Amino acid sequence: MPVPAPILYPPFNIVRLSHVDYAVTDLARSRAFYADTLGLRITQEDPDAIYLRAMEERGHHCMILRQADTACVNLLAFKVFAEDDLDKAAAWFAAQNLSPTWVERPYQGRTLAVKDPWGMPLEFYAAMDRLPSIHQNYALYAGVKPLRIEHFNMFSADVDAAVAFYNQMGFKVTEYTEDEDTGRVWAAWMDRKGGVHDIAFTNGTGPRLHHTAFWVPTPLNIIDLLDLMSTTGWIANIERGPGRHGISNAFFLYVLDPDGHRIEIYCSDYQTIDPDHEPIRWDLKDPQRQTLWGAPAPRSWFEEGSVFADCPTTQSDMKAQPIIAP
């Protein structure tokens, strides 16, 4: 098998992905997209930044939007199980020569910042301000019903190496795509929280963020979003879908925020909580890998992504190509 076995007792315990911090060039326009259209709830707002959470989340934020001159991704954050997991993480990253630092973040307890070996900015915390539950305040739902942040998907110029590194951190591979000719992994989906993924890596110029995903309860919520976006001036921001991925079995839609940050709205993946859960292998040439129903993704979907702050990118040397829509 070209993917590593899961590390059952990792050096520190990551519970789940937590939040993304986006630099955006027009905060009001991003607010219109994320709050008024996608339906995320604003938990804090000032002239420079907006914090949002999804409807079932108790943590203070799953997304931070910061006004900036240039759009990028400031960081990806993860929640660890307990305070001492932060110390274990600091020790482990230091042992990898990665120079972790402690940073101050509002609404969070102790927070550890580190760049992964390719320069991707990560943060870890154990405690975040907790808010009252609102998932049964049904008057707050507009049509789309984003319930929780679900996963990050990254371009990587060396997916095999990224998988090996993140596997050491305790992420287990649930599905992967192999290039049959070379035996290299073209893409991999890796989880901590017991679904198909908290993070995924796809071959391409990287590191870049391909998308952040939010979970909704049914395909009809995704259809509602399509109807809403296409009749309120956001039609050009619909990139791909709706469809069902072969990988993960998710019903998906990809939309672009005003800066081109890609968001997936997603439902219906499956539980992978068993430590002996076997990964599913897909062949890069299988047309049902991308879309179970056969429609290929557009070129933009394979090529465009969000750069990370202060993080140079490298082109992949992998020649294999997925099927791309003409």
Binding site for a second copy (CB under 8 A): 8, 15-16, 56, 58-59, 79, 81-82, 127, 130, 133, 135-139, 141-143, 147-148, 193-194, 217-220, 223-224, 226-232, 235-236, 238, 242, 244, 246, 249, 251, 267-268, 270-271, 273-278, 280, 287-288, 292-294, 325-326
Closest CB 110 distance from a second copy, rounded Å:
14
Residue closer to a second copy by CB (options 79, 210) is: 79
The CA dihedral of 80, 67, 152, 302, to the nearest 10 degrees, is -160
Cα gap 30→66, rounded to integer Å: 10
**Minimum distance from CB of 23 to a second copy (Å)?**
27
What's the gap between Cα 126 and its chain centre? Answer: 19
Question: Min. distance of Cβ 157 from a second copy in angstroms?
Answer: 28
Nearer to a second copy, 51 or 118 (CB): 51
Q: What are the percentages of helix, strand and coil residues in the chain, rounded to 5?
A: 20, 35, 45
Query: Is the CB of 115 or the CB of 145 nearer to a second copy?
Result: 145
Instruction: Give the nearer residue to a second copy in terms of CB position, either 1 or 94.
Output: 1
Q: Is 181 exposed, middle or buried (0-12, 13-18, 19+ CB in 10 A)?
A: exposed
**Minimal distance, residue 75 CB to a second copy, in Å:** 20
User: Smaller CB distance to a second copy: residue 271 or 321?
Assistant: 271
Query: In whole angstroms, what is the distance from residue 282 CA to residue 230 CA?
Result: 33
For residues 103 and 127, which CB has a smaller minimum distance to a second copy in the complex? 127
Q: Measured from the CB of residue 209, what is the shortest distance to a second copy in angstroms? A: 22
Residue 318 Cβ vs a second copy, minimum distance, rounded to whole Å: 26
Extract the runs of DSSP E, i.e. beta strands, from the chain: 14-24, 41-46, 49-53, 63-67, 72-80, 101-103, 111-115, 121-125, 148-156, 172-179, 184-191, 199-203, 208-215, 238-244, 251-256, 262-267, 280-283, 306-307
Distance CA 203, CA 286 (A): 16
List Cα–Cα distances, 135 to 9, 58, 132, 140, 283, in angstroms: 33, 9, 9, 9, 39
Shortest Å distance, C-beta 40 to a second copy: 16
Cβ proximity to a second copy, 73 vs 89, nearer residue: 89
